[in-house]
Structure 1
């Protein structure tokens, strides 16, 4: 995506692109198909990214950025340390469950999109470690190896 902040129109287009791709996958779509389905020109799509692969990467980034914000809203509304972890994991699972199987399969075939997924998986593991560390500091949990638990969560998410 260009370094400039996306316009409201571009953000709306990206939202519609994410909805389309997460519902149907993207391997079989051409840029012409996407432009037709999104009721825009290919030039408009090229303003978001320089190629189909980059467009997919931007859509995946956008999806996970929104998912992370939604997950954190759930966590922020939860007080007890154990409940915060459960809330976090459930909210993450809900966001992943919402993805169409074809989207996940297609994403695994596009290295930049998979890189985004893997980076988000690492961030999720870091967040679980942080929630555990906070719970230990608050006296809600006995001292555990938070890094190990985070690795287990990462392996489960992958």
Structure 2
């Protein structure tokens, strides 16, 4: 109990479910050197001066994406059934992949984050995910999955 009566030890599973429910990215899963802030929905991390002046690593690609759009986008999914890895549209065409997923203890549903082709990223879009060679229903939802309740 670490000397505090209301604090208990928690493992990586607890960290991952809390991170996922909050819609936070994990480097190596949801982010890597091939994913830009524009694709990940993290454009807010690029300051106004940097957007105007550029001059940072990857500026040409990122600034052109901010102006012209991206080919893929990070989305949140609520999945009917077990967590999955591949994302399909209603025509069973592969359109993306799941980068993080698992059960949400708060929502009592399976949730996931992943990247899909632009055009399939809007909240409410019905998609499918492949689990053990079977397609299951999934729905794009806004993140965070569980709204924060802290005071700013």
Normalized per residue, which structure has more strand? 2
TM over 0.5: no
Higher helix share: 1
